[in-house]
């Protein structure tokens, strides 16, 4: 599958502002496998002081945090959704973020682009980052 070019994306200054303003990050597709990118990225962000909320269909806890089966199941505010899923999953994820009404940042990891979903999230008032690794961007600050 070829990655489309992001037509909707935040710049470095917006990314800096994102990391300065958020506290909670729901990680969709957070694997319990320590060798997977999703686990390493979430661990880095957790170690940096962010509250990580694992969203994964299996497991009870990951990184010492309660796992939720879906974004809708999280009973408290979510500042950012960090997505480790295939691009075609981003449309329903954008809809779930909009339905929650509290998500400020829609972030799809390196290699994950869905411009239609990104545009929908942006129009709903979210900041959007596509095709960028949140750990790499956080470290660069």
Range 12-140 classified under CATH 3.40.50.720: yes
Res. 1 pLDDT band, cuts 50 70 90: very low
**pLDDT (average), residues 111-139:** 96
For residue 63 the two structure tokens come to 């990184």
What pTM value is reported for the model?
0.95
Mean pLDDT of 70-78: 97
Strand order in the sheet with 127-129: 51-55, 24-28, 80-83, 105-108, 127-129
- Residue for token pair 């909707």: 8
- Sequence-distant (6+) residues with CB within 8 A of 98 are 120, 121, 124
- Sorting pLDDT into bands at 50, 70 and 90, what band is 2? low
* Longest CA pairwise span in the chain (Å): 37
Report the C-alpha gap between 72 and 12 in whole angstroms.
30
């Amino acid at each position: 599958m070829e990655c489309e070019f992001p037509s909707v994306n935040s710049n470095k200054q917006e990314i800096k502002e994102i990391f300065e303003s958020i506290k909670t990050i729901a990680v969709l597709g957070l694997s319990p496998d320590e060798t997977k990118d999703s686990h390493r990225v979430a661990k880095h962000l957790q170690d940096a002081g962010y509250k990580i909320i694992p969203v994964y269909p299996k497991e009870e806890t990951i990184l010492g945090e309660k796992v939720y089966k879906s974004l809708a199941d999280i009973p408290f505010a979510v500042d950012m959704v960090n997505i480790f899923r295939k691009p075609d999953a981003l449309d329903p994820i954008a809809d779930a973020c909009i339905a929650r009404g509290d998500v400020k940042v829609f972030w799809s990891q390196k290699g994950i682009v869905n411009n239609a979903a990104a545009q929908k999230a942006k129009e709903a008032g979210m900041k959007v980052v596509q095709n960028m690794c949140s750990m790499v961007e956080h470290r660069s600050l």
